Amino acid sequence: MKRLTVAVLGLSAFAVAPPAAGQAAPRPSRAPTARSAEVYGPQLGATVVWSPSPEAPAPWLQQDPADSLYRLARGALSAGNYRTAARHFRSLRDRYPRSGYVADSYYWEAFALSKTGSGDRLKQAVGLLDLQAERHPDARTRRDAGELRARIRGQLAQQGDAEAAEEIAGMAAELAPPSPPRRGVVPVRPPRPPRAPRAFGPVRARRSECDSEDDERLVALSALMQMRSEQAVPILKRVLERRDEGSVCLRRKAVFIVSQKRSAETARILLQSARSDPDPEVREQAVFWLSQVNTPEATAALDSILQHATAPELQEKAVFALSQQRSEAASRALRDHLERTTTPDDIKENIIFWLGQRRSEDNAQYLRAFYARTTNPELKKKVIFSLSQMNLEENARWIMAIALDESASVEVRKNALFWAGQMRAVDIEDLTSLYDPMTDLEVREHLIFIYSQRRESAAVDKLMDIARNETDQGLRRKAIFWLAQSNDPRVAEFLMEIINR
């Protein structure tokens, strides 16, 4: 039952991922089509919602040498400073490896990382939970850890991580078959789904809260929304220039109101707040709201922030904001930043993702050329994923060419095969023709899974052919397993044929 719950949690996270707080929902992108999520979800009942406690327990080992560090980590977590909290929990293990807080620190660091939404940090969180299971199987957070891991794998799948999508599909197929076993059919032990490429998604924004004592002033500030720009903007500028502690919530509100005022100063005011406000949330909100100001000045301001900001969070917001600008200048700014050798890899991954969300031949041509130039295999995988999201025929042909390129690594070829399989622009006949000439067993296993995710009858035909004629027993068993998940009426007769041999 526990494994079933974990599988459902992964499916629910995979199927539905709400937009980040304070962030406009991106245009829908095609997540991996793990058909199992579609088939098994309704049979498992209503949508499962799981939310771990956002607060670590109060300190319980006052004499422990790591107690003060645990208090710091817990306080940062409660305040929503997730990166700081993760750093403190990690430091706790490094400095006090015998502390009584160590066993649960893996869970809470993973929880903090999961709240950032970054693809790489989500994968790091999964690794921490796996380490906890190996080293501290009796930790009191182990039950929540299994559920958190499933939720994170669901997030990764929704962001485009094909490995996570396949894992969820396999778990669902194993734990919730679409119908009772047919009489006389010997059940096949579910195969371990093949490892698949990884992708990532956009970073989530942090949620802010203000003290109730500011409510009356915030109401007065909100009234500026009704005033003409020439009257309101000078007042808003003075509010944003304040640096007293009591003005933080006012400045957060003022940033939004400025973004709604169409004036020659709007972009400059937001840029100034993004660069110099002492409150991180004001800076990040200023960058976000610049994304809603579709002017050449706003694009130039965001480009400047992207080039000169040192905080990773600010760079991430600048990338997102530029991606929302509907101008060639914004796309060009993202492409230029992708080429800079000083740009961190995780920022490059974000840029590649957002370039892929705009169906643009210019972006497609650029990404195909960038793939040839970069030597980073992870960036190559991100390019393949992003090109698959545009669903252009030229991209489909290009991705299939990568899959057939024997000079490419097996992992990159598997990546290309997976995303080609998700593109309806790729004919099923093109995919099924790849199996027989393929000599690499790992790639053949990957192809079997891809066929199982397609709806065409030709995919079922190929799986039956593999089950009949494949010389490798393990691959035959995998083909039979995935056939058993199919609703094709021919499958029952085929399975009986296998039994009566």
Same domain, 83 and 168: yes
Same domain, 15 and 27: yes
Same domain, 95 and 125: yes
Residue 182 within a domain? no
Number of domains in the chain: 4
Specify the long-range contacts of residues 88-91, CB closer than 8 Å, at least 24 apart: none
Same domain, 317 and 376: no
Same domain, 20 and 150: yes
Question: What's residue 39's pLDDT?
Answer: 30
| CB-CB neighbours of 53 under 10 Å | 9
Residue 161 within a domain? yes
Closest CA to 491 of 39, 257, 178: 178
170-180: per-residue pLDDT in tens?
A: 655 554 444 44
Share of the chain above pLDDT 90, in %: 31
Q: Could you give the count of Cα atoms lying within 13 Å of 299 in the half-sphere of its Cβ?
A: 15
Regarding predicted confidence, which is higher, 201 or 448? 448
Tokens 């799981």 found at = 50
Q: Could you give the count of Cα atoms lying within 13 Å of 480 in the half-sphere of its Cβ?
A: 23
Task: Answer for the pair 170, 192: CB distance below 8 angstroms, yes or no.
Answer: yes
374-430: per-residue pLDDT in tens?
A: 999 889 999 999 999 887 889 999 999 998 888 888 888 888 988 888 887 888 999
Residue 307 within a domain? yes
Same domain, 333 and 458: no
Closest CA to 354 of 415, 411, 291, 294: 291
Residue 57 within a domain? yes
Question: What's residue 311's pLDDT?
Answer: 81
Query: Residue 119 above 90 pLDDT?
Result: no
- The most confident of the ranges 6-15, 291-300, 456-465 is 456-465
Q: Residue 384's domain spans which residues? A: 359-426
Question: What's residue 487's pLDDT?
Answer: 87
Q: Which of 39-43, 179-183, 201-205, 274-278 has the lowest mean pLDDT?
A: 39-43
Q: In whole angstroms, give the CA distance from residue 447 to residue 463.
A: 10
Structural tokens at position 480: 């039979």
Residue 199 within a domain? no
Regarding predicted confidence, which is higher, 459 or 15? 459
Q: How confident is the model at residue 210 (pLDDT cuts 50, 70, 90)?
A: low
Same domain, 405 and 305: no
- The most confident of the ranges 201-205, 215-219, 221-225, 372-376 is 372-376
Specify the long-range contacts of residues 334-338, CB closer than 8 Å, at least 24 apart: 335/363, 335/366, 336/303, 337/303, 337/306, 337/307, 338/370
Question: What's residue 136's pLDDT?
Answer: 92
Closest CA to 162 of 110, 125, 201: 201
Q: How confident is the model at residue 207 (pLDDT cuts 50, 70, 90)?
A: very low
Task: Answer for the pair 181, 44: CB distance below 8 angstroms, yes or no.
Answer: no
Closest CA to 11 of 28, 36, 43: 36
Question: What's residue 200's pLDDT?
Answer: 34
State which of 411, 426, 441 marks the end of a domain.
Answer: 426
Q: How far is CA 235 from the centre of its chain?
A: 40
Query: Residue 287 above 50 pLDDT?
Result: yes
Burial class (CB in 10 A: 0-12, 13-18, 19+), 371: buried
Question: What's residue 89's pLDDT?
Answer: 95
**Cα(first)–Cα(last) distance of the chain, in Å?**
36
Q: Which of 151-165, 235-249, 254-268 has the lowest mean pLDDT?
A: 151-165
Same domain, 143 and 24: yes
DSSP state for residue 65 in the 8-state scheme: T
Cβ-count burial 230-268 (b if 16+ within 10 Å, e if not):
eebbeebbebbeeeeeebbbbbbbbbbbbbebeeebbbe
Q: In whole angstroms, give the CA distance from residue 332 to residue 341.
A: 16
Q: How confident is the model at residue 49 (pLDDT cuts 50, 70, 90)?
A: very low
State which of 143, 160, 175 marks the end of a domain.
Answer: 175
Query: Residue 464 above 90 pLDDT?
Result: yes
Same domain, 87 and 160: yes
Same domain, 330 and 417: no
Mean per-residue pLDDT, 309-314 = 82
| CB-CB neighbours of 305 under 10 Å | 24
Same domain, 460 and 389: no
Q: What is the CA angle 391-396-402, rounded to 5? A: 135
Same domain, 271 and 289: yes
Residue 500 within a domain? yes
When the pLDDT of each residue in the chain is averaged and rounded to a whole number, the result is 79
Share of the chain above pLDDT 70, in %: 77
Q: How far is CA 448 from the centre of its chain?
A: 25
319-373: per-residue pLDDT in tens?
A: 988 988 878 899 999 999 999 998 988 899 989 999 988 888 889 999 999 999 9
CATH of the domain at 246: 1.25.10.10
Mean per-residue pLDDT, 166-192 = 48
CATH of the domain at 70: 1.25.40.10
Task: Answer for the pair 445, 428: CB distance below 8 angstroms, yes or no.
Answer: no
Q: How far is CA 375 from the centre of its chain?
A: 23
Q: In whole angstroms, give the CA distance from residue 499 to residue 496.
A: 5
Mean per-residue pLDDT, 155-171 = 67
Residue 210 within a domain? no
Query: Is the entire prediction scored with pTM above 0.75?
Result: no
77-94: per-residue pLDDT in tens?
A: 888 888 889 999 999 999
List helix spans (H) across 277-409.
Answer: 280-290, 296-308, 312-323, 328-339, 345-356, 361-373, 377-390, 393-404
> What 3 state SS string does 310-343 have?
CCHHHHHHHHHHHHCCCCHHHHHHHHHHHHCCCC
Residue 377, SS3 per DSSP: helix
Q: Which of 204-218, 230-244, 246-260 has the lowest mean pLDDT?
A: 204-218
Residue 204 within a domain? no
Question: What's residue 402's pLDDT?
Answer: 92
State which of 394, 426, 458 marks the end of a domain.
Answer: 426
Structural tokens at position 290: 């610049």
Residue 273, SS3 per DSSP: helix
Q: In whole angstroms, give the CA distance from residue 178 to residue 433.
A: 29
Mean per-residue pLDDT, 472-481 = 92
